[in-house]
Structure 1
């Protein structure tokens, strides 16, 4: 049971009556009915890669963990309809590969894709690096199959892009973190597999320059701009320190931008178009230096630098993590003001900033270099949160962009959601889970 009782970050450790591993929707329903009849709380769990403790049971050993890892079939691919139907325990990378074998792209992509499962991705409304072009998990979902708190099964596995027959119930379960029911399967959108991709790593001066470049890239490439990732030099330094390997040889820079353009039939034309864009940006001083990947392997290595930031931070030690979003126009202001306020309150603080600038989502994490100092700093998380989250709220942002609420941000949610919003959410919870047995202690 041990692997199911702790979270990936090592922040939460719980206990449970049992871990059950059903292999079908019918078995999930039977487990839920048994728990409902006995009044036993249930904790749904996918790949257990949650960063907010949403899939970890509480410490009281009163709940049953329901692992979806054996529900891992790709049930169907409809190439003409551009859809794939997969069970909740299907690992995201496996789903991507199944789509590729059918000549299609499933664009949800994130660092944990080799172990996270699509049910968990949907339950947290995961985003990842290609939201800029394709949208997050909610926008990629056409239909769901869900086991309700009563043990009944709702079959909403419809691959329709237009269906105006009342409330769109699937959206209640996406992002609900298993508090309303257990997603067991989904119909997801597929897209044509891009024939051409161009990837580049840029050295830039500031987040303000990054926002300006994003606008220029969108003006030049439109919907072909797939990803635009902002990385601070401190974040890149941790990857180089703990996961050494190939990295771009660039002039020293405080900030970096990783961009990808994909689509069209002519790979050479795509490369040349991006090369011309970068040449102009270098000439006018918007970009300090740049590396344009010359092969798929070089592109993979560039992406590895971005995707390994989380792992490098884990090796470095505990940090206070924030997954926030603000309007793209206010990203530079947020970084400048938050950095300044935190440095004033906590001298010698280290701030690791990276994220999806194309959709306004930053991962904004803090620590101190010395272990003893860091332990005291981690204990001050509530004060750090107040600075960061109050500023995010002031700028019209969100305290959770793609990681969810889980256990980590329950109290924070109460501070930033209006009483009307909280009561509407509680009313939905009471309607779908009147006994309060579905993932208790999470989100609400």
Structure 2
């Protein structure tokens, strides 16, 4: 029988108190093993900035691919439904070494700084269209009406996916990132992911017949040093780009808006001096850490971490949100400082799995926040901060909704 948890790291109550819980963990046990979300599987949780950085930088010891531990470990972490497995398991985040480099190289050209910067006018147009739709009303639910539709529209257009399916993408994405613990939840998740898989099959089949000037067509046709994506890799990569291409930025925009509304002096300064917005985005990424935890790692070889002995086959999760509030790395870590420099946060990870879409998320976040505060005068919260609900998906620090109003 597993020992009880020393620190409760799941659910709505954790989200209301996560900063205090992480602070206690960093002080008492920056590397600690306790049961995961299922209540019995032992997992090492890492909260200290130095230890988190060590894990992320050392993919030889801390792998994303369970097959590097053993075939049995790989089987344990394989999605049971082969139709779903084809779109969930074979993307670049699940591999290390040469497999990861090959898959990353096949999509990296779509996310170069030059390509991303060329998207600036379109992102600004989408942000303004979303504000146009609500400006005269004087109120909106910011997550659903602004933070979500902006990045999902951008990634849908980049991929060549019909943006009118965005509500479906939101539901399917939630099935990806929300752990399904009960038999009923697992059945529902497999049903949703099965529908996603079926849609992927139809989309890819259509694009094979009618290629367009979009990323899906390029992924189908791509060839890098004589190598092509196989069908499962293709489906998995498209699904990953849809999910990862909006989830982080939805969280970033919502979290940044809430933070500014709780720090009116910073909001006024950014409104009066838009040149400060890109630097402020870095501080929002650190202060709220939209991706709260990195995906689970598998310990490939016995090693010491933070004074703890880890063994081959152990599971490990790093808490990016905890590391980004480590006083050993950030002076006055629990204070918002939009002028903070340097700002060596790890909101996008580190090492070989550093977020490929980081430049796009930064640009979308900056445009979204600048447009919001410039166009909506006297922007204010319509609900007390402690009454706001947070999603319980462990990976993300993400609001369920954010009701706001402004002067018309």
Q: TM-score, normalised by structure 2?
A: 0.24
- Pick the structure with greater CA Rg: 1
Q: TM-score, normalised by structure 1?
A: 0.23
Greater share of helix? 2
Greater share of strand? 1
Higher RCO by CA contacts (8 Å cutoff, separation 6 or greater): 2
